Structure 1
């Protein structure tokens, strides 16, 4: 048993994931943070002259916008009710306490932001909820409502909230000044508001009170930019945070080019985005964090920055746009006929943009439509998000290359799509995961899911990834949802394939290898293995073959787990919440709303059990939204052997009520 205190263990594990160069970088960053704290690095806004005809303003056409839904949300915001994350309503008050956690009610201290222990739930509450409110996506809705209706209630309400935020969150003070990524997202949404309401001479800044608001707001914006510029995520932390920080600083530098530093901020952040987009995406355009929600998240940043660059006559390279195009193509490839994608890796439902009501319900469709507009590909109908971001048809020729077509295999990233009838009501679509655990040394948002399989039939979830649930709940639930038993793969001796060193850290990562590439999605024949259990006293190898025959509508998974002595081998299958299961011996009968199927489990001395929402193990849970979990059915197939062989046949018997 490890007797070291949890915090000390975490610190040791974190140091193990750092190079010597990173350690010195961290020491330097600590010095920079102290310099900010004691005023040695200035965040006070310097004097500047009022701009003259500098602004590349966007013109908005609201005539074809269905305004009722916008006004309904804006009215709720004025009454103190906001939507956070995907679709969670919270009552935060008409003038919120911006340092209060909407989930727990805990008010964080007003001390120097970077010094606050944001992971201390007793001190700050759930920091994700605090930060989500302070990204100010809902402020954009008030600006939209004013444009749609010309009702001054929305303008005055927005001005009151901005003033309250500036009062309660002075520069460098409180948890809203503890993460450069959060400052960056806030700046992107502030930029949208600035443009929507007319910029320097806009409706918010009329009369002396408006001029005072503009001055105070710009002072905070300058401090935001200074803070981000000195606190970029680097080395083992240079993941989606760094892309977001660079995008936020670039958008801010172009929206408010008033200071001598603005030009350098723009150059630094643009060059950084060019570099990171090539580092953080595979050759096929798959985000290397191996977390599909963060694939979407980073695309929101990249498209936002690319659109602002085009509007300001800057030019990102063809390589930049090629990666973005491929990233959009990957989303199209893994999306099923109902518009869903597998929940591979971490997800916290955090959004950069919420430009239309209910957009969070289908972020994939939103980002794909925006991509179509940017690449001038009119295969999909333009959405309100496109209109708000791009104005009146100003998006022609933003991206200089053609959009990438869909594909079914991404061997560099380790993902392979199987199935048939793609895009049709009878679609069968699955995904095999033979990728890395995650990105960089800590692989912060990856899961221990090597060789896992997901499957949807006619757009209905059949074999599912369990999702994430929460970052801040008890370690039991964090470890479960990112652990091996929450995925459709095999666990050995009750331990995960990879070794966790903390909530966002893997200290030993399973390496997955493709042994045989499939020839097609419809006649699919994959073979791969991973070395995650080679670390055991008796080294064990798990090899899995996955075959799919479109003509027979049959999926066959063959697992071989081999060592020199006997091991406990568990194979897990997680089923969509809409399915009804009936287990009889080694046969499982599956009834969905859109299809029926059956599974057969073949092998020697197999023990087959069905679980549903077991709290103790835990087993039989999934999460479709942050901080929300629900019970689902899970089949566990167990065997103890030195060479365990389990073969699973899943056959789609028919479709229900599709025609």
Structure 2
């Protein structure tokens, strides 16, 4: 008999502070694994990965999570690790911000228009001029359902559950944009920005184009008018980020293209939209130095915004040529500096990686329209970036590992079955940058179709030989695979996740990366899932691998390296902890064909340890039925089961005081509760669902070895 734990078998859904939703079984964001209730066998000797008791520091101890760093030390570390080339433009931006320069340079209400007469955007947007019968190749049901929700005033923020669509801000008057940084009306500013990204427009535009129903077009124009009347140019939070200003131009141009021949698309409305595009380009130009100082997806987004405006106003605005040239130049330079030769993106995030590939596909479409030749070096980086995302994508489900920051960005939803589906992006990027499809024909062709990227002949299949066996970090086959993360940082780390392992089995993510959940909430949810202790790796004495000095800032970067590969089924890497004495952590991930995986961790002190340390091995597991057993944990779901066995080897003469902690949704099942952020998986921003956080902890003063054996079984049909 299985005994129900107090935390298991619930289906509660509660509203958290702000607008976030606790989702035990979400519908709008399908999980990379099925869920069920959980059980635990009692009577097992279990302790705690990081017990809150004298002599032991909790994972949430402020002394651990928020170490004291004097300003001079922080400044020197910033110069050493980021460099003056990146810091000086940021310092210049701050000076202009604090002295009122930007307030004077970006006047409330905007600039006087210099746009001359403008024709329709059919040939001036990145989108292909699709006829209604071509739109029928898209998955129309989802678009029409989404459009009908918008008609009723609702949409799906961050690809999550339905929520009210609000474009009118809750304020009687708005200050200049320089007054708004991280929050508006006391809440995370991302909740204000999300509806103003206008990604809900795609559903309206496709539904209106196919059905001919003028109501969809009218709703777009009404919503746009509501936005412009309640968000005056350069006033309020929706003008505080030039990146946000740029991103909303793309869906607006798509809607204009789809609705241009309908009666509701009047001359006056077109003039209002073109004026908004012009004002947006001027706002982007004013603070482009900030985007350069960040040198991340901000710069790519804003450069693309200038390309969009410059192309639209070509020959009709005195600044159009300048905007286009600056946009292309900045975008291409950013790709060469942000994408490593092997394809790694500087922000170390699969979701941001998808984002920059989608931005690059739009850039590619504009380059074709402007007859701009893309250099071989830029195309080489885009090809490498495409390969990189493919290696982190599950061939069965189409989802990618939840690596790094996940802020819910999904700019172009065409062809995706859900928020996590990256196949349309991979298909379009493969066709554009690798010159072959990533997948056989299917619904994931939609993004390429919309952007005018030629689809292959039906007899052209994806390459037969997978690149996975040549990957430095991936093992396995198409149905059962895993990755071992090891990075030498050339840009700011996102998470302290060196040597983290991610495992997939027949479309199910069985060793999960927790994601992000929230960036700007009060503790403990101030980007808490960036810490080492919630990743599938080993932490020492409750410390992070690097020094955390802000929500998004890690200093004292800890690099990791792969060791030479001798077996296609095995990957190894190592890092060195900045402890006293330093400790070398060596991790090996081995794929066992037909059986599962083995993960071996070795902790080797480089010198004599003056006092014993504590090693915590963490695994984040799917929310399946479970039993704690003497050697680990047994999980089962429908016809599948996982037996995870963990052993610790210590030198002769040392006792193994192995302790086990199991937490689900912040509630302790075994051991003593220590961290409310454990036992959660965040599939997108502002959404979190229960998972099983298991920690095996052991003291050590000499070399320690953990062995985690994953035995995967499928029950035979009766």
Kindly provide the CA deviation profile for residues 18-55 of structure 1, in whole angstroms up to 9, marking residues without a partner as x.
55555543354346553442257895244343246996
User: Could you say if the C-alpha distance between residues 27 and 472 of structure 1 is closer, same or farther in structure 2, counting changes exceeding 3 Å?
Assistant: closer
1:512 aligns with 2:557: no
Alpha-carbon distance between aligned partners in 2 of 1:7 and 1:573, rounded to the nearest angstrom: 26
Gaps of 5+ in 2: 1-61, 651-655, 668-672
Aligned to 1:47: 114
Kindly provide the CA deviation profile for residues 73-105 of structure 1, in whole angstroms up to 9, marking residues without a partner as x.
21211110111112321123xxx34335xxxxx
1:196 to 236, 251, 258: 258
Aligned to 1:545: 588
1:229 aligns with 2:285: yes
1:455 aligns with 2:518: no
Alpha-carbon distance between aligned partners in 2 of 1:346 and 1:406, rounded to the nearest angstrom: 28
Aligned to 2:267: 211
Alpha-carbon distance between aligned partners in 2 of 1:331 and 1:23, rounded to the nearest angstrom: 30
Kindly provide the CA deviation profile for residues 487-516 of structure 1, in whole angstroms up to 9, marking residues without a partner as x.
1111111111111111111122212123x2
**8 Å contact from structure 2 (residues 197, 244) kept in 1:** yes
The structural deviation recorded for 1:224 is 0.8
Q: Per the alignment, in what secondary structure is the counterpart of residue 547 of structure 1?
A: strand
Aligned to 1:597: 643
**8 Å contact from structure 2 (residues 303, 327) kept in 1:** yes
The structural deviation recorded for 1:540 is 3.0
Correspondences of 1:120-135 after superposition (within 5 Å): 120=183, 123-135=185-197
Aligned to 1:282: 340
RMSD: 3.3
1:469 to 483, 496, 517: 517
Aligned to 1:25: 89
2:662 to 611, 617, 620: 611
**8 Å contact from structure 2 (residues 167, 196) kept in 1:** no
**8 Å contact from structure 1 (residues 284, 326) kept in 2:** yes
Aligned to 2:432: 374
Alpha-carbon distance between aligned partners in 2 of 1:560 and 1:7, rounded to the nearest angstrom: 27
Alpha-carbon distance between aligned partners in 2 of 1:266 and 1:310, rounded to the nearest angstrom: 13
Alpha-carbon distance between aligned partners in 1 of 2:326 and 2:662, rounded to the nearest angstrom: 53
User: Could you say if the C-alpha distance between residues 37 and 8 of structure 1 is closer, same or farther in structure 2, counting changes exceeding 3 Å?
Assistant: farther
Alpha-carbon distance between aligned partners in 2 of 1:646 and 1:449, rounded to the nearest angstrom: 19
Correspondences of 1:483-502 after superposition (within 5 Å): 483-502=531-550
Alpha-carbon distance between aligned partners in 2 of 1:6 and 1:164, rounded to the nearest angstrom: 46
Q: Per the alignment, in what secondary structure is the counterpart of residue 602 of structure 2?
A: strand
**8 Å contact from structure 2 (residues 106, 234) kept in 1:** no
The structural deviation recorded for 1:612 is 1.9
1:119 to 159, 182, 191: 182
1:98 aligns with 2:144: no
The structural deviation recorded for 1:13 is 4.5
**8 Å contact from structure 1 (residues 610, 633) kept in 2:** no
The structural deviation recorded for 1:261 is 1.0
The structural deviation recorded for 1:589 is 2.9
Aligned to 1:648: 707
The structural deviation recorded for 1:302 is 0.6
Aligned to 1:104: none
1:583 to 625, 628, 642: 628
1:433 to 480, 485, 488: 485
Aligned to 1:620: 679
**8 Å contact from structure 1 (residues 454, 488) kept in 2:** yes
Alpha-carbon distance between aligned partners in 1 of 2:663 and 2:611, rounded to the nearest angstrom: 28
Q: Per the alignment, in what secondary structure is the counterpart of residue 367 of structure 1?
A: helix
Aligned to 1:103: none
Q: Per the alignment, in what secondary structure is the counterpart of residue 203 of structure 1?
A: coil
Gaps of 5+ in 1: 101-106
User: Could you say if the C-alpha distance between residues 32 and 579 of structure 1 is closer, same or farther in structure 2, counting changes exceeding 3 Å?
Assistant: same
The structural deviation recorded for 1:483 is 0.7
User: Could you say if the C-alpha distance between residues 244 and 506 of structure 1 is closer, same or farther in structure 2, counting changes exceeding 3 Å?
Assistant: same
1:255 aligns with 2:315: no
Kindly provide the CA deviation profile for residues 235-283 of structure 1, in whole angstroms up to 9, marking residues without a partner as x.
6511121112112221232133231111111111111221111211121
Question: Relative contact order, CA 8 A, sep 6+: which one is greater?
Answer: 2
Alpha-carbon distance between aligned partners in 2 of 1:492 and 1:113, rounded to the nearest angstrom: 44
Alpha-carbon distance between aligned partners in 1 of 2:504 and 2:455, rounded to the nearest angstrom: 35
Q: Per the alignment, in what secondary structure is the counterpart of residue 38 of structure 1?
A: helix
Alpha-carbon distance between aligned partners in 1 of 2:319 and 2:463, rounded to the nearest angstrom: 35
**8 Å contact from structure 1 (residues 484, 491) kept in 2:** yes
User: Could you say if the C-alpha distance between residues 347 and 513 of structure 1 is closer, same or farther in structure 2, counting changes exceeding 3 Å?
Assistant: same
Alpha-carbon distance between aligned partners in 1 of 2:69 and 2:174, rounded to the nearest angstrom: 27
Aligned to 2:23: none
User: Could you say if the C-alpha distance between residues 15 and 406 of structure 1 is closer, same or farther in structure 2, counting changes exceeding 3 Å?
Assistant: farther
Alpha-carbon distance between aligned partners in 1 of 2:130 and 2:206, rounded to the nearest angstrom: 10
User: Could you say if the C-alpha distance between residues 610 and 260 of structure 1 is closer, same or farther in structure 2, counting changes exceeding 3 Å?
Assistant: same
User: Could you say if the C-alpha distance between residues 270 and 583 of structure 1 is closer, same or farther in structure 2, counting changes exceeding 3 Å?
Assistant: same
